[in-house]
Amino acid sequence: MQQRLDNGMATIVNTMMNPPMPMEDEAIMRMQLNMNAFMLSQFLHGEQGALIATAKIVQGVPWEEAKYYAANQVADEARHVEVYHRYLTEKLGISYEIVPSLRTLLDDIVKDPRWDVTFLGMQIMVEGLALAAFGVTKLQMADEPLIQDLITRVMQDESRHVAFGVLTLNDLYAQMSSSELREREEFVIEATYLLRDRLLMEPVFERLGWDVPLWTEWAKGTPFMIGFRQMMFSKIVPNLKRLGLLTPRVRDAYAKMDLLRFEHMKDSVEEPEATPPHELVELLSQLMSGKAAESNGGLQQSAAAQ
C-alpha cells in the first residue's frame, strides 16, 4: 500500500474516481482498508446464507444426483464461512454487519418454498455476483498473498457451484407456464436491484466519519463507481440468458440498468471460471500500480449512459 501511495496513487484516485473533495494519502488508505473489510464481511454473510440455502436445497431438489452434489456444496460453504470469518477476525480486525439489502435477499432465498427459486437466488444470482466480486477483491488486494490464495480456492468452489446451478436449472424454465415464469422474472429483477444496492457502501462512509449523504451520492453517480457495480453482473447476465430467463421483461429492466452488454460473455457452462471483464482489470491495475490513467474512457462512457 505504501508503495502504491509513493507511486502517486493519490493523483490517480483523485482523477479517476473524482471524489467529492481531493483525497490525501491517509484518507485513501483508510478508505481502501474499510472497503476491503466491508466487501469481505459481505462475503462472509453471503457464505452463511449459502450454507443454509444449500442445506435446504439438499432437502428440496427432486433429483437424487443433485442432492448428492448439493450435500458436497454444504461442506464447501461451511469451509468458506470459517475461512472468511477467521480472516476478518484474526487478520483484518475490522468487520461490518450485513447490509439490509443483502439480508432481505438472503431471507427471501432461504424462506421461499419453491426449491428452484432458492436455487436461482443462491446459485445464479448471489454466487454469480460473488464470483465477480471475489475477482475484483483479488485485484484490489494484489499485494496480500494470503487473501490471494484464500480467494483463489474459494473461487474454484464457487465456479463449480454456479455451473452446477446452471446445469440443474437448464430446461426447467422452458417448460414453465407463463404465470410461473412471470414470478421468476420478478424475482430476478428484484434480486438484481437488491444486489446492486448492496454495493453502495454507505456503512463504510459512516464508519469513517464522513458525510454519508455526500459520499453516497458520489457512489451512486460517479462513472467509475457505476461501472464497478455493473461489472458485478458480468457472470449473472450470460447465465440467465442460458437459462432462458433473459425474457423481454427482464431484458427491459436490465437495459435500464445498462447490464445487457454482458449478455454475449461466456456463461458458466462454457467457462466456469470467472475472470473479471478486461476493462475492469485494466482500470484497477492502473489504480493499484500508480500508472497514468489514460484508457478508462470506455467504462466511463458506458457508465455515463445510466
Binding to Fe ion in span 59-78, by CB under 5 A: 77
Q: How far is the CB of 242 from Fe ion (least distance, A)?
A: 18
Cβ-contact 265, 237 below 8 angstroms = yes
Among 56, 80, 184, 196, binds Fe ion (CB under 5 A): 80
Least Å from the CB of residue 161 to Fe ion: 4
CB 163 within 8 A of CB 268: yes
* Choice between 59 and 156, CB closer to Fe ion: 156
CA 17 to centroid of chain Cα atoms: 20
User: Of the two residues 129 and 246, which places its CB atom closer to Fe ion in the complex?
Assistant: 129
Task: Kindly tell me which of 49 and 223 has the beta carbon lying closer to Fe ion.
Answer: 49
Q: Which of 232, 225, 177 is nearest to 201 (CA)?
A: 225
The interface region with Fe ion, picked from 45-53, 83-91, 190-198, 281-289 by CB under 5 A, is 45-53
Task: Determine phi and psi for 8, rounding to 5 degrees.
Answer: 95, 30
CA dist list (Å): 235 to 1, 79, 247, 267: 29, 23, 17, 7
- The C-alpha atoms of residue 269 and residue 76 are separated, in whole angstroms, by 20
CB of 47 to Fe ion, least distance (A): 5
Nearer to Fe ion, 43 or 215 (CB): 43
Binding mask 222-241 for Fe ion (x = CB under 5 A): --------------------
Q: Which of residues 155-214 bind Fe ion (CB under 5 A)?
A: 158, 161
Question: For 200-232, b where at least 16 C-beta lie within 10 A, e where not — what string?
Answer: bbbbbbebbebeeeebbebbeebbbbbbbbbbb
Question: Per-residue x/- marks for Fe ion, 109-128, CB under 5 A?
Answer: ------------------x-
Please identify which residue in 43, 47, 57, 166 interacts with Fe ion, judged by CB under 5 A. Answer: 47
Nearest distance, CB of residue 207 and Fe ion, angstroms = 25
267 binds Fe ion (CB under 5 A): no
By C-beta, is 40 or 299 nearer to Fe ion? 40
In whole angstroms, the minimum distance from the beta carbon of 133 to Fe ion comes to 12
How many residues form the binding site for Fe ion (CB under 5 A)?
A: 7
Taking the complex as a whole, the smallest distance from the CB of residue 103 to Fe ion amounts, in Å, to 17
- Whichever of 160 and 266 has its CB closer to Fe ion, that residue is 160
Shortest reach from residue 306's CB to Fe ion, in Å: 30
The Cα 10–Cα 299 span in angstroms is: 20
CA distance 41 to 96: 6
Residue placing its CB nearer to Fe ion in the complex, 47 or 144: 47
Q: How far is the CB of 151 from Fe ion (least distance, A)?
A: 11
Count, in order, helices (H) and strands (E) of the chain.
16, 0
Grid coordinates representing 217?
451520492
Nearer to Fe ion, 132 or 303 (CB): 132
- Sign of CA pseudo-dihedral 122, 124, 129, 131: positive
171 burial (CB, 10 Å; 0-12 / 13-18 / 19+) is exposed
CA distances from 35 to 32, 149, 229, 272 (A): 5, 20, 14, 27
Binding positions for Fe ion, rule: CB under 5 A: 47, 50, 77, 80, 127, 158, 161
